[in-house]
């Protein structure tokens, strides 16, 4: 496999049972094999994508002291700004060569969850930044729900199994800026090899190449997608829930060739998180004599906090 498989969500949404079955089979088998797909037919328009990138670039061009005024202590970087080099991959001492922002869930109709999640941080200097970010958030969340419906059917669950957990879930939209590289990085890369924490990740087209995924043989494959496609991968929560049936594949963002060090890179992943009470106990449908239960019982909230501590974002 030289690249990741491509799938079309419009097959699932078509109302044609054969096309729906085709999509379920294609995405399920891709997630068993490589853990990544390129998806078209989603709900995020080109216009909204372009608008969000313009807003994000405007934010990261603000003076450092203004950006740092939006860095909130004590919440593990879950909302607002996280400054350059603060986050590192699990097991890495060097901080990744990036700064980023977090938009989070705007809870509707659940006061308990509204109190649990940190409030979103509003940027005064860029009037449309938050509005555009949250519009994109909702379209990516809607796409994620339909992808998870397909995966529920592939696993053998009710189609809407994940809806109750992802609706009002603790999902994060993360615009990332990888600044130009100024000098020889001492062991640091733009994003060191890692698996994502969450259920699935939806990545809007990045502004430069660099994303690579590790296949079953241990080789690194460059991930390429068309501008209109989202790259969607399995996270550790879904791998755990499915007892390793669906794969959370290790991936990284490598530094560009030296002649391209002067170029910044932007990318905007949407990390689909469930509500914290969701059980990540291995599903009975994914346990057998040949695949015994591989993980201890845990909730999504417990797992997230454990991982945020490992990443250095929570003390």
Which domains does the chain carry? 6-310 (2.60.120.330)
CB 4 within 8 A of CB 214: no
What span, in angstroms and rounded, lies between the C-alpha atoms of 183 and 104?
A: 34
**3-class DSSP assignment, residue 27:** helix
Residue 300 is encoded by which pair of tokens? 């999504």
**Tens digit of pLDDT for each residue in 157-195?**
999 999 999 999 999 999 999 887 666 655 555 566 777
pLDDT of residue 89: 45
**3-class DSSP assignment, residue 226:** coil
pLDDT of residue 185: 59
pLDDT of residue 188: 54
SS (HEC) of 97-128: CCEEEEEECCCCCCHHHHHHCCCCCCCCCCCC
**3-class DSSP assignment, residue 80:** strand
**Tens digit of pLDDT for each residue in 99-136?**
999 999 999 999 999 999 999 999 999 999 999 999 99
Residue 92 has pLDDT above 60, yes or no: no
Task: Give percent of the chain with pLDDT exceeding 70.
Answer: 86
pTM (2 decimals)?
Answer: 0.89
């Amino acid at each position: 496999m030289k690249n990741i498989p491509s799938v079309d969500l419009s097959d699932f949404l078509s109302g044609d049972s054969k096309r729906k079955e085709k999509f379920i089979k294609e995405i399920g088998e891709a997630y068993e094999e490589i853990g990544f797909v390129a998806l078209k037919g989603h709900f995020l328009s080109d216009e909204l994508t372009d608008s969000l990138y313009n807003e994000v670039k405007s934010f990261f061009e603000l003076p450092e002291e203004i950006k740092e005024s939006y860095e909130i202590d004590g919440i593990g970087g879950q909302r607002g700004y996280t400054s350059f080099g603060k986050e590192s991959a699990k097991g890495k001492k060097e901080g990744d060569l990036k700064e980023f922002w977090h938009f989070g869930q705007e809870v509707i109709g659940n006061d308990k969850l509204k109190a649990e999640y940190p409030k979103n941080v509003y940027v005064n200097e860029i009037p449309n930044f938050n509005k555009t970010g949250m519009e994109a958030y909702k379209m990516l969340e809607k796409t994620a729900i339909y992808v998870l419906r397909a995966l529920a059917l592939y696993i053998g669950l009710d189609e809407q199994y994940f809806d109750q957990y992802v609706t009002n879930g603790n999902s994060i939209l993360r615009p990332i800026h990888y600044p130009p590289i100024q000098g020889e990085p001492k062991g640091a890369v733009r994003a060191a090899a890692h698996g994502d924490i969450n259920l699935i990740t939806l990545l809007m087209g990045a502004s430069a190449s660099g994303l690579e995924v590790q296949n079953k043989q241990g080789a690194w494959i460059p991930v390429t997608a068309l501008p209109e496609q989202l790259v969607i991968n399995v996270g550790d929560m879904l791998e755990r829930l499915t007892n390793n049936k669906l794969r959370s594949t290790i991936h990284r963002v490598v530094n560009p060739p030296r002649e391209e060090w002067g170029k910044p890179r932007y990318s905007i992943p949407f990390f689909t998180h469930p509500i914290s009470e969701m059980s990540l106990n291995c599903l009975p449908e994914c346990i057998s004599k040949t695949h015994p239960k591989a993980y201890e019982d845990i909730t999504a909230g417990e797992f997230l906090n454990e991982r945020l501590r490992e990443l250095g974002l929570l003390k």
